[in-house]
């Protein structure tokens, strides 16, 4: 049964009371006195992280747990591994933090897949130890840097969390991006490691005691190709075209290639997946192309993620004016990283900042959307505008974007409303335009 609203009766009624209550830490941290949580405690009902439920499901299924972790790219890469294993007829189970394509779930868009193969793929999120319940057989480590300032005091605290998690799975195989400074630091902390270690990196020297896969990155006209080095006795490079744009997705593709080879998937299936995988929901998701204006929705809410996404958009839509539209995620994060946010947003041609989404952050006095907009301009960017709510921001954009523009909407709160509302406004405006103002190929 699926209930669309919270109700105390879900846990207070003895006749329908569940055995366990799995919740997100975002709720227990922000609202520990939520009526359902209070009712559960009064009834003696165990309250646990939902990740524990997923970990238990993987353990009872007998499938090996493949955990994809990293500050950035874990949803995309976990979904990519699902795509690869499905193409290889390995029928995996999965739980990913973004919507998978219906072709992978066998039904509608979903974050989960239940399969009968030998693997269970999960996205392992470091926030507040969310990944702690997972004891992986294979861990794919993409990158690591300071994020979530509400739970990690500094970068070392992030690395400590990764190290502690992986030490609880001492025999796990590690598929690691040794080109990332944070992952290299975590790997060094874990030495010696009892399990296999497979390193991957885009172009560099071979490290000690690591099975290593390297590649050169080739980007031509916005298209990305990995030129993967052959075995030591074979210096011929193998070409793998990557369907998702940008160097960050090339690194994600390398993770999929390295993990796929380790898991015994043949190169032809890997080549097919790398070229054809369309991504997961809210990761550079094209919401519409109306009247020559492209609207893209993305979950990016960290300076590094924003920079990488802007870079990918520039490569895919060369020569076009790019809007960076950002709904900041929490006042605390925005205040602590204000300068970094301003620097990366200044890379865009036009910038609009929506009101900050407070989320679990109770202090709304630390900074403001207007302060970030001013910081963007001070960092050498355009005169950014703080347009107000997500609805007001969409309405502002509808009046100011022009044919040929690419509008990249980013954020982790309600920013998706901006993208959807903007597409609707543009479509309505386009329908009202005289036929003489429409171009060949425009929707009619």
Phi-psi region of 243 (alpha: psi -120 to 50; beta: other; left: phi over 0): alpha
- Give the number of other Cβ atoms within 10 Å of residue 308's Cβ: 20
CB 308 within 8 A of CB 142: no
Tell the residue number behind the tokens 């005169």, with chain if given.
383
Instruction: Assign a CATH topology to domain 62-276.
Output: 3.40.1190
CA end-to-end span of the chain, whole Å?
42
190: part of which helix (H) or strand (E)?
helix 181-190
CB 394 within 8 A of CB 418: yes
Architecture of the domain defined by 285-437:
Alpha-Beta Complex (3.90)
CA-wise closest residue to 328 among 386, 391, 246, 249: 386
Q: Rounded CA gap, 41 and 426, in Å? A: 49
Burial of 362 (0-12, 13-18, 19+ CB in 10 A): exposed
Partners of 122 in the β-ladder: 67, 95
Q: Rounded CA gap, 118 and 80, in Å? A: 17
CB 312 within 8 A of CB 321: no
344: part of which helix (H) or strand (E)?
helix 338-345
CA-wise closest residue to 169 among 65, 97, 261, 73: 65
The pLDDT assigned to 433 comes to: 57
Q: Which pTM does this prediction carry?
A: 0.89
The pLDDT assigned to 321 comes to: 98
Burial of 353 (0-12, 13-18, 19+ CB in 10 A): buried
CB 97 within 8 A of CB 114: no
Q: State the DSSP code for 101.
A: P
Q: Rounded CA gap, 246 and 373, in Å? A: 26
Q: What's the average pLDDT block by block, 10 residues per block, for the chain (444 residues)?
A: 82 82 82 88 90 92 96 97 98 96 89 96 96 97 95 96 97 96 96 94 66 85 87 74 94 97 97 96 94 96 96 95 97 96 98 93 91 98 98 98 98 96 93 49 39
Q: Rounded CA gap, 204 and 219, in Å? A: 18
CA distances from residue 32 to 5, 20, 43, 114, 357 in whole angstroms, order as listed: 18, 17, 16, 32, 20
Q: Rounded CA gap, 25 and 287, in Å? A: 30
Q: State the DSSP code for 63.
A: P
Residue 13 CA, chain-centre distance (Å), reads 38
The tokens of 91 are what? 């029928």
Q: Rounded CA gap, 95 and 120, in Å? A: 8
Task: Compute φ and ψ for 140, nearest 5 degrees.
Answer: -105, 115
- Give the number of other Cβ atoms within 10 Å of residue 113's Cβ: 22
Q: Rounded CA gap, 146 and 302, in Å? A: 10
The tokens of 354 are what? 């929506």
DSSP string for residues in 367-391? --HHHHHHHHHHTT----EEEESHH
User: How many residues in total does the chain contain?
Assistant: 444
CB 158 within 8 A of CB 185: no
Residue extents of the structural domains in the chain? 62-276, 285-437
Same fold, 62-276 and 285-437: no
The pLDDT assigned to 430 comes to: 78
CB 330 within 8 A of CB 359: yes
- Cβ-based neighbours of 14, under 8 Å, separated by 6 or more: 43
Task: Compute φ and ψ for 440, nearest 5 degrees.
Answer: -55, 135
Partners of 225 in the β-ladder: 218, 241
Q: State the DSSP code for 356.
A: P
CB 353 within 8 A of CB 386: yes
Q: Rounded CA gap, 280 and 293, in Å? A: 22
The pLDDT assigned to 68 comes to: 98
- Cβ-based neighbours of 343, under 8 Å, separated by 6 or more: 303, 379
Task: Compute φ and ψ for 243, nearest 5 degrees.
Answer: -75, -25
């Amino acid at each position: 049964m699926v209930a669309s609203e919270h109700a105390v009766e879900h846990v207070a009624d003895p006749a329908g009371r569940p055995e366990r209550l799995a919740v997100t830490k975002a709720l227990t941290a922000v609202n520990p006195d939520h009526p359902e949580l209070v009712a559960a405690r009064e009834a003696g009902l165990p309250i646990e992280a939902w990740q524990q439920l997923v970990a238990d499901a993987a353990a009872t299924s007998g499938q090996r747990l493949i955990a994809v972790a990293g500050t950035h790219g874990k949803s995309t890469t976990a979904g990519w591994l699902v795509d690869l294993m499905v193409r290889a007829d390995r029928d995996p189970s999965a739980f990913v933090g973004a919507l998978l394509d219906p072709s992978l779930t066998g039904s509608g868009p979903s974050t989960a897949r239940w399969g009968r193969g030998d693997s269970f793929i999960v996205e392992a999120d470091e926030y507040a130890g969310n990944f702690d319940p997972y004891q992986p057989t294979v861990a794919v480590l993409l990158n690591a840097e300071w994020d979530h300032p509400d739970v990690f005091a500094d970068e070392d605290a992030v690395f400590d969390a990764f190290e502690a998690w992986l030490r609880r799975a001492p025999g796990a195989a590690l598929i690691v991006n040794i080109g990332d400074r944070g992952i290299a630091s975590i790997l060094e902390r874990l030495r010696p490691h009892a399990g296999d270690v497979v390193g991957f990196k885009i172009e560099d020297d071979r490290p000690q005691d690591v099975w290593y896969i390297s590649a050169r990155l080739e980007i031509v006209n916005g298209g990305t190709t990995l030129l993967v080095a052959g075995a030591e006795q074979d210096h011929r490079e193998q070409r793998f075209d990557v369907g998702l744009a940008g160097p960050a997705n090339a690194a994600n593709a390398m993770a999929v290639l390295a993990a796929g080879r380790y898991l015994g998937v043949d190169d032809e299936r890997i080549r097919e997946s790398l070229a054809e995988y369309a991504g997961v929901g809210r990761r550079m998701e094209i919401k519409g192309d109306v009247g020559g204006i492209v609207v893209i929705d993305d979950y990016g809410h960290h300076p590094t993620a924003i920079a990488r996404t802007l870079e990918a958009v520039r490569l895919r839509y060369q020569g076009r004016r790019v809007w960076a539209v950002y709904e900041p995620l929490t006042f605390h994060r925005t205040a602590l990283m204000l300068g970094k946010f301003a620097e990366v947003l200044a890379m865009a041609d036009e910038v609009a900042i929506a009101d900050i989404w407070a989320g679990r952050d109770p202090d709304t006095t630390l900074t403001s959307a207007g302060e970030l907009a001013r910081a963007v301009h001070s960092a050498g960017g355009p005169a950014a505008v703080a347009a107000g709510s997500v609805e007001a921001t969409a309405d502002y954009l509808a009046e100011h974007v022009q044919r040929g523009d690419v509008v990249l909407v980013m954020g982790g709160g309600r920013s998706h409303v901006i993208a959807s509302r903007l597409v609707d406004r543009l479509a309505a405006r386009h329908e009202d335009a005289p036929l003489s103002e429409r171009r060949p190929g425009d929707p009619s």
